Amino acid sequence: MTPITCIEDLRVLARRRVPKMFYDYVDVGSWTESTYRANETDFQRMLLRQRVAVDLTTRDTRATMLDRAVSMPVAIAPTGLTGMVRADGEILAARAAKRFGIPFTLSTVSICSIEDIADATDGHPFWFQLYMMRDRNFVEKLIRRAHAAHCDALVLTLDLPISGQRHKDLKNGLTAPPRLTLLNLLNMAGKPGWCLRMLRTPRRTFGNIVGHAEGVGDMASMADWSSRNYDPSMTWDDIAWVRRLWDRKLILKGILDPEDAAKAQRAGADAIVVSNHGGRQLDGAPSSIRALPAIVDAVGARTEVHLDSGVRSGQDVLKALALGARGVFIGRAMLYGLGALGEAGVTLALEIIRKELDLTMAFCGRTAIGQVDADVLLRDTPELPRALAA
């Protein structure tokens, strides 16, 4: 097999090995996918300052995210249906993250459950992502389960009170649970490795919901529950309610506007994630990297700012740090590795990103993450966000 040297290599391999409906679920944006594409291209247009004659003998990518020491300022983002990209996918990704020394975030709509992750990682702290549901009793139980599993941060996602229109998912019949049409079944049959692993695992439902939400005992009842439980009425009052229930670190994810960032800060967020949900919600919204500088300006150093959407390399990580982020979340890059090679693929994706981060930092004349600032970027690049170029 040709050596894998970048995240794109993992994506190509994952596309061959993962059934189309689940690969497309990973690799899809909403409507015209303009924001999905901008998330990557806006990173690529930013130019770096090469510096020379700097002692690069000792370099260090270690940092902290929400007071946790990390091997690099990267966390694994919460991604739904991860266990359908690869059997037991959330467990595999959590193990890789633990060994690598970065946070893993479990999605509410994961296949493996909160308890599965706690058991598989021997009680190692991880983060849990929460969607606000109409059934507040269920939400409160989820929060208590995350607390009992030693999650040290709760990631409340704000930008999915309703779902964006994703054409590929609609055409593939990707629902909760997925519709097993003839075309989907034929495509799955062409992925024998995927099928064999799925047959061997008992984890093929939504582990945080089935058997826990009232009236949801199997995947058939899950469909009706999910269609009526995402809560479009969520307001800042609901966020305050979650803040009262959760006594550990609270991260608010899905912020693109400085006014919302200031509201998140007043609501008691320990960190916010500048994110457009990977381009899967509001098509035509700005890329996360373009929105980042104004949000950093709005909240200052009082609330930690993270970023996701579009990060495909260590260079992207460096550029986000240069614009004021304290860390980034990776979703698709992790899923490509998982779909391609399982747990080893997640580890490889992390190794690729760390190596790229280390080398790019060095070429820019920096030897430690704490030294990375806006001076690693060329200020006269016309594609830079206006707040930075000014």
Rounded CA gap, 311 and 287, in Å? 11
Both tokens of 118, joined, read 């706690």
Looking at the predicted structure, is the pLDDT value of residue 27 above 90?
Answer: yes
Tell me the CA distances in angstroms from 336 to 45, 58, 86, 136, 217, one per residue in order: 23, 31, 10, 34, 31
Q: Any idea what the CATH number is for the domain that residue 194 is in?
A: 3.20.20.70
Encode pLDDT of 219-272 as tens digits: 878 878 887 888 899 999 999 999 999 999 999 999 999 999 999 999 999 999
How confident is the model over 83-102, as a mean pLDDT?
A: 98
Using the predicted structure, report yes or no on whether residue 380 has a pLDDT greater than 70: no
Binding site listing: 25, 78-80, 107, 129, 131, 157, 166, 253, 275, 277, 280, 308-312, 331-332
In a domain, 2, yes or no: no
Would 257 be classed as within a structural domain? Answer: yes
Annotated catalytic residue, options 124, 150, 277, 306: 277
Quote the pLDDT of residue 289: 98
**C-alpha to C-alpha distances, 213 to 133, 134, 142, 225, 375, nearest whole angstrom:** 11, 11, 9, 9, 50
pTM: 0.95
pLDDT tens readout for residues 316-341: 999 999 999 999 999 999 999 999 99
What crossing angle do the helices spanning 182-189 and 192-200 adopt, rounded to 10°? 100
What total of structural domains would you count in the chain?
1
For residue 279, being part of any structural domain is answered with yes
Q: How many angstroms separate the first and last alpha carbons of the chain?
A: 47
Our answer to whether residue 147 is catalytic in this structure is no
Measured in degrees and rounded to the nearest 5, phi and psi for residue 7 equal -65, -35
Question: Would residue 383 count as lying in a domain?
Answer: yes
In a domain, 185, yes or no: yes
Asked whether 282 and 163 are in contact (CB, 8 A), the reply is no
Could you tell me the residue range of the domain that residue 345 belongs to? Answer: 7-389
User: pLDDT (tens digit, 9 = 90+) per residue, 73-90?
Assistant: 999 999 999 999 999 999
Residue entry with tokens 């916010």: 272
Query: Quick one: which of 76, 72, 69 has its CA closest to 61?
Result: 72
Of all residues in the chain, the percent with pLDDT exceeding 90 is: 85
In this structure, is residue 1 part of a structural domain? no
Q: What's residue 230's pLDDT?
A: 87
Sheet holding 327-330, edge to edge: 74-76, 327-330, 304-307, 271-274, 249-255, 153-157, 127-130, 105-106
Name the pLDDT band for 390 (thresholds 50, 70, 90). very low
* Phi, then psi, of 65 in degrees rounded to 5: -130, 115
Percent of the chain clearing pLDDT 70 (strictly above):
96
pLDDT of 102 reads: 98
pLDDT at position 2: 86
Per the annotation, binding residues for FMN are 78-80, 107, 129, 157, 253, 275, 308-312, 331-332
List the binding residues for glyoxylate.
25, 131, 166, 277, 280
